[in-house]
Structure 1
Amino acid sequence: MNNSIRTVMAAATALGFCATAALADGHAVKLRIQNHQGPESTVGILIADFVDRVHAMSDGSIEIEMFYSSSVVKSVETFDAATSGILDCDMTNGSYQTGKNPAFQFVADTMGGYDTPLQYQTWVNYGGGKEVINELYSAYGMTFIGAHVGGQESLNSTRPLNGVADLKDFKFRSPPGMESEIFASLGAKPIVMDFTEIFTALETKIIDGADAATLAVNRSLGIYDIAKHTTYPGFHSMSSDHLACRTDVWESLTPAQQTIIETAEKALAMDLMMSVIVQNGEALAELPAEGVTVYDWSAEDRATFRAAAQGAWTEWATRTPETAKIVHSHKAFLKRIGLTD
C-alpha cells in the first residue's frame, strides 16, 4: 500500500469515513463509489442517473455516495482504495491494474477484438466473460459487477488514413502497453505521451495523429481543428469501464439489492451505448463541412488489424495464467459470433 492510500485511510478512519454494511434483513446500506469521469461529461451524467435509479428501485434502501473525477484517490488507486476499505466500489477502468496482472488489459480493452460495444457486453453477460473476470478479481477480494463502454474510438490524423498501408511511419500519440505493440507491428511509430500533450504535439508536428477518444469527443475537444483526417467507425480501441465492489460488501447485500445494482449497471451500459450512437452521428454529419475526411476501413484492413492484435494477445497470454484464460475466452467467443475463423 502506498503512502497516499495510507494517508487517505487514516483520514477516513479519523472521520468515521466508512460504508454502512448491508444488514441481512435488508435494512439501508450506504455504498461509497469513486469514478474517474467529470460530473458534466456524458458518462458522468449517466452515472448520476445510475445512482438515482438504484435509490428509486431499492425504495431508498441503497444509498450511493458517488465521488466524481477521482476526488478521493487517484484513478489508478481506486481499486486498492476499495480493497482496503476507503471505498466500497470502484467504477473506473481495469487497465489501471495491469501492473498487478496483465489480464486486466483484457477486461478493459481487447484492442482490435470487437466491432461494437454490444458484442463486448454480450461476451461479458452471455459468453462467460463475467465468470472469467471474477476469477481474476476474486484474488484481490473484489467482485466484478458489470461493464459500460460507449463505443469504438476514432484515430485522428493530419494525413490520410485509408487503411493499414497508411500506417507505415505514422507517428501518433499512443497509450503505453499493448496498443503500441500492435501498431508498431504494422509499421506505425507510436509515441507514448500524456493525453494533455496531444494538441501541442499536433501543432508542432511531433506527431501525425493521435489515439484520443470517440468521434464526438474528439470533435468536442477541438482536435479536428488541427487533424483533418479520422477513422469511423473505429476499429482499434474500445475501452470499457467497470463496476467492481469489495467482495465482503457485495456479499453483505441481499439478493434483491444485488439484483437492483446489477440491473442499474446494465441500464447505464445501454444508455451509454445509445448516447454515443447519437453523439457520433451528429458529429459525423457536421465534420465534412469542417473539412474533415472520414475513412471507413475495409473488411480486409480490419481483418489485418485484428490479426495483428491477436498476435499481441498470444504473446500477452504467456505472461500469466489468468491472462491466458481471459484471452482464450475472448478468442473462443469471437469465433463463436463469426468475427474470426
Structure 2
Amino acid sequence: MTKTLKLILCSTLLAAGTASADTVTLRIQTHQAPESASGRMVQGFVEDVETMSGGSLDIEMFYSSAVVASAEAFSAAANGILDCDMTNGSYQTGLNPAFQFVADTMGGYDTPLQYHAWLKNGGGIEAINELYEPQGMYYVGGYLGGQESLNSTRPLNGIEDLQGFKFRSPPGMESEIFAELGSTPIVMDFTEIFTALETGIIDGADASTLANNVGLGIYDIAKHTTYPGFHSMSADHLACSTSVWEGLTEQQQEIIRTAMDSMALKLMTLTLVENGEALATLPDQGVTIYDWSAEDRATFREAAIGRWDEWAKKTPETQKLVDSHKAFLNRIGLGGE
C-alpha cells in the first residue's frame, strides 16, 4: 500500500469516526402500531430523516406507546425521558383546553389539506408554538389522513343510534359532544381498545380512519362502521423538547421539517387510496357500512360547533386558537362564525 493511499484511508476512517461521534439520536414515541397506515408513514419518516441527514441524525422510534402511556409521551419528552412526542395533542387537554384545537376542531375542516393550509398559511404553526413553548416543547408539524370512521359492535345508522352508545373516546371536546347527543364516551388509552371491545366494556371506538382501522384489526371484532367519516379528523403531531430541538443544527431542523411535510402528503394520498380499497373489502368480511344522511351530519356539526365558543372561554390560549381557526375558515370560504 502506497503512502498516499494509506493517508487517504486514514483520513476516511477518521472522518467516519467523527461522523459517528457527532450522530444525534432522537428517542421518539408514537401510539401508532407499525403495521397501520400511519405507522408505516412514521417508518418512512424515520428513513427519510436518517437518509437526508447523511447519518447525522438517528431516530429510535418506539411504536404502540412502548415506553409510556400515550397521554404521557408529551411530558416524557419535556422531562427528558423521550426527546420527541409523536402522539396527539388531545391527550394534553388537561394541561390546557387549547390543545383540543391543535388536534381536532370537530366539525371544522372537511379535508386534511384544509388543516395543513391553516398550519402553513393561516398562522397555525406559530399559534400552536405559543401554546407549546411554555411547556418546554416545540411543535414541528402535524400529519393526518382524513375523516375518521367510528366502529361499533352494533348498528350506527344515524344520530338516533348514538343513544346509549358506549365507545372509546379520546379526551377533550369530543366526549362532550357525544355525551350531549346521548352517548356514553369512555376515555381510555389507544392500546386498550381491543380488550374493551372483546369484553363488552365498550360497544365501539373512535380509533382512526377506515384504512387504519382495518390495519389495526378492529373490524375482526366490530362489524359496523361509518364511512365517509363525519365526526373527527384528528391530527397527530411531532413535538420535541425545546432544548433538544434548539440543540440541532439549522440543517438538521430543516431536514426534519422537510421529512414531516413529505410524510403528511404521503399519508393524505395513501389514506385516500387505502380507504377506497378497504371499503371494497369490508362487506365480504361481514362489516356493514353506514353513510349518514345530510340531516344527521348537520345535526352533529351543529352540536360540535356549539362547543367551540364554550371551550374558547376556558383559557386565553384556547380563545386564540379558536379565533385563528374561525378566521381561516372564513378566509377559505367555509365560514367560521
**What's the TM-score bracket when you normalise by the shorter of the two chains?**
0.7 to 0.9
Equivalent position of 1:219 in the other structure: 214
The 1:34/1:171 distance shift into structure 2, 3 A limit, reads: same
The 1:122/1:321 distance shift into structure 2, 3 A limit, reads: same
Aligned partner of 2:267 among 272, 289, 297: 272
Kindly provide the amino acid, as one letter, of the partner of residue 63 in structure 1: D
Tell me how far 1:242 sits from its aligned partner: 0.9
Kindly provide the amino acid, as one letter, of the partner of residue 186 in structure 1: L
What CA distance in whole angstroms lies between the structure 1 residues aligned with 2:195 and 2:135? 39
The 1:90/1:289 distance shift into structure 2, 3 A limit, reads: closer
What CA distance in whole angstroms lies between the structure 2 residues aligned with 1:340 and 1:159? 35
Equivalent position of 1:327 in the other structure: 322
Aligned partner of 1:135 among 110, 130, 138: 130
Kindly provide the amino acid, as one letter, of the partner of residue 335 in structure 1: N
The 1:282/1:311 distance shift into structure 2, 3 A limit, reads: same
Q: In terms of mean alpha carbon deviation, does 243-252 or 158-167 score higher?
A: 158-167
Tell me how far 1:170 sits from its aligned partner: 3.6
What CA distance in whole angstroms lies between the structure 1 residues aligned with 2:86 and 2:150? 26
Tell me how far 1:206 sits from its aligned partner: 6.2
SS at match of 2:110: coil
Aligned partner of 2:28 among 34, 49, 54: 34
Equivalent position of 2:147 in the other structure: 152
Aligned partner of 1:110 among 105, 126, 146: 105
What CA distance in whole angstroms lies between the structure 1 residues aligned with 2:284 and 2:261? 36
Kindly provide the amino acid, as one letter, of the partner of residue 214 in structure 1: T
Kindly provide the amino acid, as one letter, of the partner of residue 313 in structure 1: W
Tell me how far 1:137 sits from its aligned partner: 0.7
What CA distance in whole angstroms lies between the structure 2 residues aligned with 1:197 and 1:253? 35
Between the two proteins, the alignment pairs up a number of residues equal to: 315
Tell me how far 1:176 sits from its aligned partner: 3.8
Deviations 1:262-287 (A, max 9, x none): 00011111122222222211110012
How well do the aligned residues superpose, as a CA RMSD in angstroms?
2.7
After TM superposition, list the pairs within 5 Å mapping 1:26-175 onto structure 2.
28-36=22-30, 37-175=32-170
Aligned partner of 2:308 among 313, 318, 323: 313
The 1:89/1:289 distance shift into structure 2, 3 A limit, reads: closer
Deviations 1:167-187 (A, max 9, x none): 344443434432121012223
Are 2:177 and 1:188 equivalent residues in the alignment? Answer: no
* 1:34 and 1:72 in contact (8 A); partners too: no
Kindly provide the amino acid, as one letter, of the partner of residue 36 in structure 2: S
What CA distance in whole angstroms lies between the structure 2 residues aligned with 1:87 and 1:172? 30
Tell me how far 1:201 sits from its aligned partner: 6.0
Tell me how far 1:241 sits from its aligned partner: 1.4
Equivalent position of 2:230 in the other structure: 235
What CA distance in whole angstroms lies between the structure 2 residues aligned with 1:144 and 1:197? 27
Tell me how far 1:162 sits from its aligned partner: 3.5
Percent of residue pairs bearing the same amino acid type: 70
SS at match of 1:287: helix
- Normalised TM-score (structure 2): 0.82
* 1:33 and 1:88 in contact (8 A); partners too: yes
Larger Rg computed on CA atoms: 2
Q: In terms of mean alpha carbon deviation, does 268-277 or 195-204 score higher?
A: 195-204
Q: In terms of mean alpha carbon deviation, does 191-200 or 221-230 score higher?
A: 191-200
SS at match of 1:104: helix
Kindly provide the amino acid, as one letter, of the partner of residue 167 in structure 2: F
Structure 1: give runs of 5+ residues left out of the alignment: 1-26
* 1:232 and 1:295 in contact (8 A); partners too: yes
* 1:202 and 1:208 in contact (8 A); partners too: yes
Equivalent position of 1:246 in the other structure: 241
Equivalent position of 2:335 in the other structure: 340
Deviations 1:6-51 (A, max 9, x none): xxxxxxxxxxxxxxxxxxxxx9451423222333433333222212
What CA distance in whole angstroms lies between the structure 2 residues aligned with 1:173 and 1:141? 30
What CA distance in whole angstroms lies between the structure 1 residues aligned with 2:185 and 2:67? 33
Kindly provide the amino acid, as one letter, of the partner of residue 32 in structure 1: L
Tell me how far 1:102 sits from its aligned partner: 1.2
Structure 1 stretches of 4+ with a deviation exceeding 6 A read 203-206
* 2:93 and 2:172 in contact (8 A); partners too: no
Deviations 1:136-187 (A, max 9, x none): 0111222111011122221123444333344344443434432121012223
Equivalent position of 1:8 in the other structure: none
* 2:64 and 2:191 in contact (8 A); partners too: no
Q: In terms of mean alpha carbon deviation, does 81-90 or 190-199 score higher?
A: 190-199
Tell me how far 1:130 sits from its aligned partner: 0.6
- Normalised TM-score (structure 1): 0.81
Kindly provide the amino acid, as one letter, of the partner of residue 328 in structure 2: F
Kindly provide the amino acid, as one letter, of the partner of residue 311 in structure 2: W
SS at match of 2:60: strand
